[in-house]
Amino acid sequence: MLLETPTRSLDLQAKLFRGFADPSRLTILDALRAGPLHVGAIVAATGLSQSNVSNHLRCLSECGLVQAEPRGRFVDYRLGDARVGELLRLTEELLAGAAYGVDACQRYGTPDPDAS
């Protein structure tokens, strides 16, 4: 079991949010909110390249945010926990009231979509 100190908990929270900090990973997670999809369907739903989707799925799987389920020749991917979808929904609600401030914030910047 992980050592649960306040600092360790905050470090883990920061690490979790880094998983959500990439636009490509968010796009994949958003696509999986509707249910399990194989890589080709994720590519079609997101417009990302197959290699980009595969790389991000590996990252998301290693972190437990996505789970793989073999289905014959294909592997379906689904959210690793229903609360991931709930967190994305809550984020949309939060942004409904705070989007202007978040958009205007210059400290975080906007990630370069080509850097992923």
The third-level CATH classification (topology) of the domain covering 13-100 is Arc Repressor Mutant, subunit A (1.10.10)
Domain ranges of the chain: 13-100
Starting at the edge strand found earlier in the chain, the sheet holding 37-38 runs 37-38, 74-79, 66-71
pTM for the model: 0.81
Per residue in 39-98, pLDDT tens?
999 999 999 999 999 999 999 999 999 999 999 999 999 999 999 999 999 999 888 888
- Report whether 78 contacts 35 (CB < 8 A): yes
Task: Concatenate the DSSP letters of all residues of 69-112 into one string.
Answer: EEETTEEEEEESSHHHHHHHHHHHHHHHHHHHHHHH-TTT----
